[in-house]
Structure 1
Amino acid sequence: MLKQTEGQHPTAAHLVTDQHTLNLLVERLATESVLAFDLEADSLHHYTEKVCLIQVSSPSETRLIDPLASLDVRVLAPIFANPEIKKVFHGADYDMRSLYRDFGIEVVNLFDTMIASQFLGESEFGLAALLKKRFGVELDKRYQKADWSKRPLSTEMMEYAMKDTSLLIDLYRQLEAELVAKGRLSWVEEESELVAKVRYASREGELMCLRFKGANKMKPRELAVLEELLRFRDEKAKSADVPPFRILSNDLLRELAEKQPRSNFELVGIHTMSSKLIERLGRGILQAVASGLALPSDKLPQAQPGRRPMLDRSLEDRVKKLKVWREGKAAQLGLGVGLVANNALLEALAEPDSAQLALLKRWQREAFGDELAGLLA
């Protein structure tokens, strides 16, 4: 176990900063049947995000692992890959991507407590809401957006980080028992298994404007200007080591792409452009707009429509009927409509092809597969 040095705050004794201590911790964790994990990153504060802290709790201890302390965090990989150890996360999608991106770590036997709470019909399924409701514990939201790359970590930040996992195993056990009672444990296990397989994907080489929210509603020339503005913002953010949104907001970029200002005078007419912003970035913005306007017509980016066109009226009617069915089924099961079936699935099911039922997940086939087959017939 970790020893507390004289004058050290008790919380600091839980911080793992040397390889020997981490190796001993891994030996202990390998003997457990269930572990709770969480990650803290710095995506709100730096251009290239990274994992800055790994929290882990067993039934008997909680530790904070510092990846920034020259540790080989990959010694945790066998723990994460061991199918005999249940790994409990809350809202694991981002964590799965980050673990694989930074350390090449893959997770087997995941249980996502956020998914579990959704399948139990919880209206508020954030970790803070669940801990308050079930254990009377409050998380200090001040640290949700903290810069976890800063060292040393404050006592308050470490205490907050430890709370994220210290009750997660108890929460898991409560949720698991309730899921068993409802006959939905296998549903959550399947959904958790799918989340465990998500991976970080590099977007290098892709047009940034086509990933921009609302791009499908913009004209090709606006997209060309937007692409140049996004590249300009990205270069500035990389140089300053800050997230792009801290250079120029998405709302401002959209307005610039639509209004396409040609001069400082026209920039002043955009109400969200302050004089300081114009002085600092005005020249680069105008150059980006000019580059977008100069792009030949045959090279303009084309956004995909937000929703594929319906083939005919009868198909559209089938989708509407499926949505009505979904609302009723969601009410019957006490689940969100999107959890029962998303719109993409309903549109695929509406196609006159019985093979589309193969798109259902195992739990969906179990819960309402026969009913859907009858409806579609």
Structure 2
Amino acid sequence: MNEYQLITDTATLETFVDELRSADFVTVDTEFMRESTYYPELCLIQIAGNGKAAAVDPKADIDMESLLDLLVEDEVLKVMHAAGQDVEIVYNLTGKTPWPLFDTQIAAMALGLGEQLGYAGLVQQMLGVTLDKGARFTDWARRPLDQRQLDYAVADVTHLADLFPKMLADIKRLDRGSWLDEDMKRLTDPETYANNPDKAWMRVKFQGRNPEALGRLKALAAWREREAQEKDLPRGRIVKDETLADLAGHPPKGQQDLSRIRGLSKTWASNDIGARLMEAVENAAPMPKSEMPDKPKGRPRLGADSALIADLLKLLLKVRSKEADVAAKLIGRAQDLERIAAGERHDIPMLTGWRYEVFGKDALALVEGNLSFAVKDGSMVMTEI
């Protein structure tokens, strides 16, 4: 699939999309810029299917509706690599996420090809092709794009079209389709991408559980989110997280105090944005009990014995992931191993679904004294007690 077209008008796009509707699958990638905006600035969509490929220019005078409908409405399978940011862009444009979806990075972990393997590495490993990444620092918002930049962008979806059938065959051979279903549903959950100002406080690190301070944090984070959305600026360009947390914990008594707060411009002591910040502080209500956050489920404090158990669980994870030929990171995180070692059992992904069958049940057997390590013929084996 060496030929492709650059689409800059609505009629050509609609014709191309109609041809894709009969495809078994389409491969999709995007190029975007987000350094100076709140929302990622979509600069190019690359898509391939039925042996044809195109780069669609959303910055041209073009109606994208037909393509967006294909991504979120049609039953044709969408194949992407490390799809999180691409899914976010589609959600921002439509309020929906692409479905059905196959993420080749997650599939690579399920096939034991590496921990979050990069696209170039995956193409090299499975297709024996070395990608030219010389255009990866392109400013995709600038026009015109030259031939090399377009070739570089479209190559991602053309190689993806060759990768997917091979990966799908391996997934079917190993009967791991159900492994991917759970992760794909999580990846395409619209809640992951919704920028709800009233929930923005949950992303800010804050020490303490004082209802008044948390109420101010919620009000300030919502205010910042709306300011950032309205101005289309990164939220950190409005106020950084650490300054927001400091304002919540130590609220200024009046707007004039804003000139003495590190991280804020002195002009905020008298301008409109400073007044809106103070309005958020002054109108903040204590956080109700129903909204109080759970105590953080960070890494538990482990005693000497529990720390040793956690080390054994990490060893077990290495053994089981090697036996199953799956990336250990797809099964679970070190933090969750420590929670199991500390006696926790609830809300731990590796204790449910396929992860439980591959690892979780043995992890519980180990901590409950029903499983032990042994060395046989120079290899690590597990022995039931």
- State TM-score, norm by structure 2: 0.67
Kindly indicate whether residue 277 of structure 2 is the aligned counterpart of residue 288 of structure 1. Answer: yes
Matches within 5 A, 1:170-189: 170-173=162-165, 175-176=167-168, 183=174, 185-186=176-177, 189=180
Q: Which amino acid aligns with 1:288?
A: L
Q: What do residues 108-163 of structure 1 show as CA deviations (whole Å, max 9, x unaligned)?
A: 553211112223241452335545665321433424xx5x6x47452265444323
Match of 2:137 among 128, 134, 142: 142
> What residue identity is the alignment partner of 2:65?
V
- Report the counterpart of residue 161 of structure 1 in structure 2: 153
Q: Which residue of 2 aligns with 1:333?
A: 321
SS in 2 for 1:162: helix
More strand by share: 2
Q: Identify the match of residue 279 of structure 1 among 267, 279, 290.
A: 267
Q: CA deviation at 1:18?
A: 2.5
Contact between 1:41 and 1:50, CA under 8 Å: does it hold in 2? yes
1:208 aligns with 2:204: no
Match of 1:135, SS?
Answer: coil
Higher RCO, 1 vs 2 (CA within 8 Å, ≥6 residues apart):
1
Identity among equivalent pairs (%): 20
What is the identity, as a one-letter code, of the residue corresponding to 1:305? Answer: K
Q: Is the 8 A contact 1:228 1:289 kept in 2?
A: no
CA gap of 1:360–1:304, structure 2 versus 1, over 3 A, is: closer
For 1:358 and 1:250, the matched residues in 2 are separated by 31
Query: Can you list the C-alpha shifts for 1:326-372, whole angstroms capped at 9, x where unaligned?
Result: 5422344145554213556986996689xx999622x3355346545
Is the contact between residue 260 and residue 266 of structure 2 (CA under 8 Å) also seen in structure 1? no
Question: In the TM superposition, what are the counterparts of 1:338-349 in structure 2 within 5 Å?
Answer: 338-342=329-333
The answer on 1:304 being equivalent to 2:299 is: no
Code of the aligned partner of 1:329 = L
Higher helix share: 1
Aligned with residue 352 of structure 2, among 341, 350, 360: 360
Structure 2 residue 55 is matched with structure 1 residue 64: yes
Q: Distance in 1 between matches of 2:72 and 2:278?
A: 48
Q: Distance in 2 between matches of 1:358 and 1:370?
A: 9
- CA offsets, 1:235-286, max 9 Å, x none? 543443323222222233334445545589976665655xxx3236775448
Residue 127 in 1 paired to residue 122 in 2?
no
Aligned residues: 351
Instruction: Find the residue that maps to 1:20 and give its secondary structure.
Output: helix
Q: Shift of the alpha carbon at 1:305?
A: 1.9
Distance change (3 Å), C-alpha of 1:77 and 1:345: farther
Mean alpha-carbon deviation: is it higher for 254-263 or for 243-252? 254-263
Q: Distance in 2 between matches of 1:66 and 1:214?
A: 38
CA RMSD of aligned residues (A): 4.8
SS at 2:47's partner residue? strand
* 2:54 alignment partner, SS class: strand
Selected match of 2:44 from 53, 74, 77: 53
Q: Does the CA-based 8 Å contact 1:51-1:102 persist in structure 2?
A: no
Q: Partner of 2:377 in structure 1?
A: none
TM-score (norm 1): 0.68
Stretches of structure 1 that go unaligned for 5 or more consecutive residues are: 1-9
AA paired with 1:333?
S
- Partner of residue 103 from structure 1, selected from 94, 97, 100: 94
Q: 2 CA distance for matches of 1:79 and 1:204?
A: 23
1:248 counterpart = 2:232: no
Residue equivalent to 1:223: 214
Label 1:204 to 1:180 Cα distance change in 2 as closer, same or farther (>3 A).
Answer: closer
